[in-house]
Amino acid sequence: MNIKNIKSEFPIFKQKINGKPLVYLDSANSSQKPKVVINRMSNFYETEFSNVGRSVHSLAVKATNRFEETRDKVQKYLNAKHREEIIFTKSATESINLIASSFGDKFIKEGDEILTTELEHHSNYIPWHFIRQKKGAKIKFTPVNEKGEVEIDEIKKLINSKTKIIAITHISNVTGAIMPIKKIVDLAKEKNIPVLVDGTQGAPHLKIDIQELGCDFYAISCHKMYGPNGLGILYAKKKWLEELPPYQGGGGMISEVMKDKVSFADSPTKFEAGTMQTAEVVAFSEAISFIEKLGIKNIQNHENEILEYGIEKLKKNNSVNIIGDPKERGSVMSFVIKGIHPHDIATILDEDGVAVRAGHHCCQILHDKIGVPATARASIGVYNSKEDIDILCDAINNCKKVFNI
């Protein structure tokens, strides 16, 4: 892959930060946007904009067609069985909240159990916490081992007759551990337990074949896939969408409204209440095309090469402690430097033009488990190179000099 050419497709890299070339190592937080996505969004507003699914004039029909074409494209990209299984939301967070609320209201009762892990982002915990409070359910946490991963045998130990759903991340946004989703789904199927996968970190970096994975629900954050902010995707098996009640009420999601009764539209419309983020959906089609043009396997191989190079270099720095050592790892390197707070690390790295994230990365339970309040995190995207890693390591050494380490 010609990274120089790929990087040139992202306008943001034309600028400098504090007089230095931008080294963006925060893609796990949000990826940068290629010009094709930016242009498509702008062009839609300039030439095609209208609300979707409402009016019959030319602009409305055209906008609706573009909107639904993206749904078809997402279905094909994920290899979902039916286009109706693709729901547009405002974020992966909303996608998970939708399932927690709708599934929880209908299928979870007092004493039932929700099985998750200590790896989870708050977005795959807090929605279930609300159901715990509302229904008197329990949340069971599969423990993380010393390598920063969750073992399937530990999941198996916690499954019982009270387990109503398994909610699990595809890739940890702290340790980078890649979960064996298909094995977990196969295990759950033996007990007829549905599985929700938080694919926020999985979808940008792995080939996702929904039918092969077999999960019931899969949540995606489009802004981490080189797409626009404010857009998420929920994949849900058709059988669940037919059974689950709507998450929100309003325009567009109804079939008929009378004073004494209301009936709802079929999926996916039933779960897309109100005015949809049309421009974002249309532009996301270009993000998928961008990924398909490069090839997700090529992207994965490139990112793995940069990740391995980065881990090898960071390990050579005696002051740096990398968090986790999973057998299979996504493009995330979280680390600490003894004697320097992660926020100070991130601030000083920024002076050298290096963008990383610092904090608990919305994974406070995991940070409590590993015994640190926060970490610095360098995460890799398709535009990163070994040179970026070299600059990161030089910036870390500069940081150590500031603190006389």
For tokens 């400098």, the residue is 16
Listed range (212-216, 254-258, 375-379) with the worst mean pLDDT = 254-258
**Which amino acids are annotated catalytic?**
362
Nearest CA-CA partner of 200 in 180, 183, 179, 223: 223
The Cα angle at residue 391 between residues 385 and 397, in degrees rounded to 5: 145
Q: What is the pLDDT of residues 224-248, one digit of tens each?
A: 999 999 999 999 999 999 999 999 9
Q: How far apart are CA 249 and CA 285, in angstroms?
A: 27
Q: How far apart are CA 216 and CA 237, in angstroms?
A: 5
Give span(s): CATH 3.40.640.10, the chain: 38-292
Q: What is the pLDDT of residues 81-112, one digit of tens each?
A: 999 999 999 999 999 999 999 999 999 999 99
Mean confidence (pLDDT) of the chain: 97
For tokens 């990274």, the residue is 3
Structure confidence at residue 62 as a pLDDT band (50, 70, 90)? very high
Q: What is the pLDDT of residues 287-345, one digit of tens each?
A: 999 999 999 999 999 999 999 999 999 999 999 999 999 999 999 999 999 999 999 99
Give span(s): CATH 3.90.1150.10, the chain: 3-27+296-402
Residue 405 is predicted with a pLDDT of 85
Q: How far apart are CA 233 and CA 198, in angstroms?
A: 11
Whether 60 has a pLDDT exceeding 90, the answer reads: yes
Instruction: Taking residues 269-274, report their average pLDDT.
Output: 96
What CATH architecture does domain 38-292 belong to? 3-Layer(aba) Sandwich (3.40)
Q: What is the pLDDT of residues 143-183, one digit of tens each?
A: 999 999 999 999 999 999 999 999 999 999 999 999 999 99
Return the sign of the alpha-carbon dihedral for residues 75, 78, 81, 85: negative
What CATH architecture does domain 3-27+296-402 belong to? Alpha-Beta Complex (3.90)
